[in-house]
Structure 1
Amino acid sequence: MAVSIALGALFLLFLLGTPVAFALFFSTFLYFIVGADQPTMLLIQRLAGGLESVSLLAIPFFIMAGVFMNYSGITDRLLRLAELLTRRMHGGLAQANVLLSTFMGGLSGSNIADAAMNAKLLVPTMTDKGYTKPFSSAVTAASSLITSTIPPGIALIVYGYVNNVSIGRLFLAGVVPGVLMAISLMVLVSYLCRRHNYQPPERKKVTRREWVSVTRAGIIALMLPLVVIGGIRVGVFTPTEAGAIAVFYALIVGVFVYKQMTPKTIALATNESLLASVNVLFIIAVASGFARFLTWEQIPQEIAMLLSSQVGSAIVFLLLANVLLLVLGMFLEGNAILIVLSPLLAPVAAQFGIDPVHFGIIFIINATIGTITPPLGTVMFTTCSITGIDIASFIRAVMPFWLVMVGVLLLTTFVPFVSLALPNLVF
């Protein structure tokens, strides 16, 4: 009875738009109050115990590195590099939008942060170039999904911690699906821009001096993901220590290379990083208490037994998992799906012999697609609120991009080589 009341309260709060952390905390607290045969003090102990892990230090470190990168002027330089690489394509600025999200994937670590940044930075310019605002918003929102799988995405770290999966292998497993997303979106953008006659290719020749200047500035920024992954693979540092190295690298670039970070901007960036980190870590803390009462009630084990007895093969299970996650993504926030459902489905996937790293990437892509899916997609609302377009116009414009992302999801799901080739090669 207590479990039913707690879970009912949780989903009701989600549907009412309550922040994930408070919804999880209230439903867990309600479980203890209504009829749990456990002392309430145990809830407080579990909330604190949920953060007693060195691996979680990677989250505030990588969040800080991403914020420092934004304040250092790296975003502008990456945008110039993206525009330089795409100016001879149809829809050059829209292509640069996709490419910038791919570049920033290893830097910002958050698709909502990436969507907000590009909506402010690129949508006004795209509108001036003749793109419709719904199309510009759809490109911005869809391309931001790449961020979640390109290392060091915060979702990869959280999934690895919650399900005890190697974060280093998850980092590498997300690279190829992320690149496939970028290529697929760029092909679609090219087709749509030809069809609607948006921004024909520029024929102006790029000088050698411009190439050298722009690429040198951009490559300095793009070195960060290589430093992070390379250091983890060689064994120089752990994923947690890699986060600290990323902060140090961002600080050096911002202060001494680009010279755009002053003591004042460093203080602002640190404050922004602190607020963002507290938000994520609070969610993890309350999710730990929530997961513990599910374990007490044997809910993960019952779901695993039910699915394993009713589902005959790994392919059927993966199909059902994708359908379930895509449907829930229409109503629940991505972090909620990741923290609440992944501990329930990951053990079942393991029973069917599905690699935990492979299933982790499938799960994250599903949760990511949900952020642009109506009626409650977080990236959808973020983008529309910044660009000022109505939800109906956005949905019509984003549907082709949504279908492409689902296609990449199915390819990743049923061709494990896509996500496992790189980690198996490196490790």
Structure 2
Amino acid sequence: MTIQAIGLVFFGLLAIGMPLYLVLGSTAVVMYGLNGDPLVGVFQKMLDGLNSETLLAVPFFVMAAAFMEKGGVAKAMIDLVALAVGRVRGGMAIVSILACTLFAAICGSSVATAMAMGAILVPAMKSRGYPMPFSLGVLAAAGTLGILIPPSLAMILYALIAEESVPRLFLAGVIPGAIQAALFIGYSMFYAYRHKLPREASIQRARGERRRILLRALPALSLPAIVGIGIYGGFTTVTEASVLTAMAALLIGAFVYKGFPISDTLGQVADAVKSAAVITIIIATALAFAQWLTSSGVPAAIVEFITEIGLKPWQFLLIINVLLIVMGMFLETVSIMLITLPILVPLLGPLGIDPVHFAVVMTINMELALLTAPVGLNLFVLSNVSKTPLSVVTKGVFPLECLLFGLLMLVTYIPELSLWLPNLVYGE
């Protein structure tokens, strides 16, 4: 009766359009009450979940992304990458992918990456005669690197629920992220030569300005260095690195690139705090829900069922991938992770699946969700930035979505792609 009751309450509340944090919290309260457990346990777990140093990193990475988007950091990165690859046929598409990769190495958010890069690169690609579906598809897909390349807010969320090491999860995303960027670049070059996209004459004329562009980009390049050297050099925790990154992004954006007046800082901070508060309340209720699930024995019952039917790890991963892809059509990424992870994480150990490897599988599924209509957020971001119908973005992103699905299969069944680097740095 327990599983049926959970399903009835949970999906009933979702069906009537209740916000996710209320769905998770209300389900936990109802199930505690039905079991005769003291309701104080729900609120105690929520408070325990909020008392997390790792959770503090979320608002600061959100702030860093906001300061970079408004402060001109994205423009400096784009100019630098364009200097290196702009002369290639269709070079602006490659510039888009590499610039998104660099931006992702600072902000941790796919939506912020797509928004910051799209605002600059959509007009640039349009003025050079690039087909709009192709341009928007490349930017939407490359923007998803924001949650795979470290630092990743999705990885931080996974670490909170699964109680895993954040630096280890960050490293697990590096090689898959590099492969994803390479696949997208390969597709862009193929498309450019097949459709005879223009070479970037304007970028060629910038050769005499190499020194100026490089020097201007150095402050922007210091931001990923703060994250990487700070965390993996053992100088800072993830939270401390997020604070330093936000402060550096503020100073660089306001005083170096002069992208916004210092008087706008409080408004930027307020927006970041609002965004982080939404995520925080959902996480708190999700942790209470997860605590009840674990104590109720639901994951154990699922493990027993899987054992009885003889489900192998590769079959389990295939089923989960299909489930997550379907959920990605109807729910946004944070909701999917907070609904599924409390159930899935306890199943990994008995099946012999490494939680770090599964974190990357989950994250790539979330990337696909960002590109899947009708809820894919990156599609809406690029549609809004370009003032074009959603169908145009969807058409352009489909080939890249297929490549991303191929990467998902590759990472799912070759765990070493995710585990080699963290095992090398931290040991097995």
Give the alignment's TM-score, normalised by structure 1.
Answer: 0.90
- What is aligned with 1:276? 275
Q: CA deviation at 1:159?
A: 0.6
Q: Aligned letter for 1:398?
A: V
- What is aligned with 2:143? 144
Pairing 1:53-202 to 2, within 5 Å after superposition:
53-200=52-199, 202=201
Q: Aligned letter for 1:7?
A: G
Q: CA deviation at 1:425?
A: 2.2
- What is aligned with 1:404? 403
Contact 1:51 1:281 in 2 (8 A): yes
- What is aligned with 2:335? 336
Q: Measured at CA, do residues 17 and 198 of structure 1 come closer, stay the same or move farther in structure 2, by a change above 3 Å?
A: farther
Q: CA deviation at 1:51?
A: 0.5
Q: CA deviation at 1:242?
A: 1.7
Q: CA deviation at 1:360?
A: 0.9
2:202 and 2:123 mapped to 1: Cα distance? 24
Q: CA deviation at 1:335?
A: 0.9
Contact 2:290 2:343 in 1 (8 A): no
Question: How many residues in Structure 1 have an aligned counterpart in Structure 2?
Answer: 426
Q: Measured at CA, do residues 98 and 19 of structure 1 come closer, stay the same or move farther in structure 2, by a change above 3 Å?
A: farther
Pairing 1:21-36 to 2, within 5 Å after superposition:
21-31=21-31, 35-36=34-35
Q: Percent identity?
A: 33
Contact 1:7 1:27 in 2 (8 A): no
SS in 1 for 2:50: coil
Q: CA deviation at 1:206?
A: 5.4
- What is aligned with 1:354? 353
1:184-217 deviation digits (Å, cap 9, x = unpaired): 1111112122233333354974565422222233
- What is aligned with 1:258? 257
1:302 and 1:387 mapped to 2: Cα distance? 49
Q: Measured at CA, do residues 13 and 384 of structure 1 come closer, stay the same or move farther in structure 2, by a change above 3 Å?
A: farther
Q: Measured at CA, do residues 204 and 146 of structure 1 come closer, stay the same or move farther in structure 2, by a change above 3 Å?
A: closer
1:66-110 deviation digits (Å, cap 9, x = unpaired): 222223321111121222223122222222221221111022211
1:11 and 1:89 mapped to 2: Cα distance? 51
1:35-93 deviation digits (Å, cap 9, x = unpaired): 35234444333333320112211112222222222233211111212222231222222
User: In the alignment, is residue 7 of structure 1 matched against residue 7 of structure 2?
Assistant: yes
Give the alignment's TM-score, normalised by structure 2.
Answer: 0.90
Q: Measured at CA, do residues 246 and 192 of structure 1 come closer, stay the same or move farther in structure 2, by a change above 3 Å?
A: same
Q: Measured at CA, do residues 39 and 93 of structure 1 come closer, stay the same or move farther in structure 2, by a change above 3 Å?
A: same
Q: Measured at CA, do residues 390 and 250 of structure 1 come closer, stay the same or move farther in structure 2, by a change above 3 Å?
A: closer
Q: Aligned letter for 2:247?
A: F
SS in 2 for 1:351: helix
Q: Aligned letter for 1:156?
A: M
- What is aligned with 1:384? 383
Q: CA deviation at 1:366?
A: 1.0
- What is aligned with 1:247? 246
Q: Aligned letter for 1:317?
A: F
2:10 and 2:376 mapped to 1: Cα distance? 18
1:163 and 1:78 mapped to 2: Cα distance? 34
1:173 and 1:226 mapped to 2: Cα distance? 18
1:336 and 1:169 mapped to 2: Cα distance? 23
Q: CA deviation at 1:181?
A: 0.9
Q: Measured at CA, do residues 8 and 134 of structure 1 come closer, stay the same or move farther in structure 2, by a change above 3 Å?
A: farther
Q: Measured at CA, do residues 384 and 259 of structure 1 come closer, stay the same or move farther in structure 2, by a change above 3 Å?
A: closer
1:226 and 1:304 mapped to 2: Cα distance? 42
Contact 2:89 2:199 in 1 (8 A): yes
1:123-153 deviation digits (Å, cap 9, x = unpaired): 2332222223332221121111111111111
Q: Measured at CA, do residues 322 and 293 of structure 1 come closer, stay the same or move farther in structure 2, by a change above 3 Å?
A: same
Q: CA deviation at 1:400?
A: 0.6
Q: Measured at CA, do residues 308 and 115 of structure 1 come closer, stay the same or move farther in structure 2, by a change above 3 Å?
A: farther
Q: Measured at CA, do residues 90 and 121 of structure 1 come closer, stay the same or move farther in structure 2, by a change above 3 Å?
A: same
Q: Aligned letter for 2:7?
A: L
1:203 and 1:74 mapped to 2: Cα distance? 21
Structure 1 unmatched ranges of 5 or more: none
1:300 and 1:402 mapped to 2: Cα distance? 32
CA RMSD of aligned residues (A): 2.5
Contact 2:57 2:242 in 1 (8 A): yes
SS in 2 for 1:100: helix
Structure 2 unmatched ranges of 5 or more: none
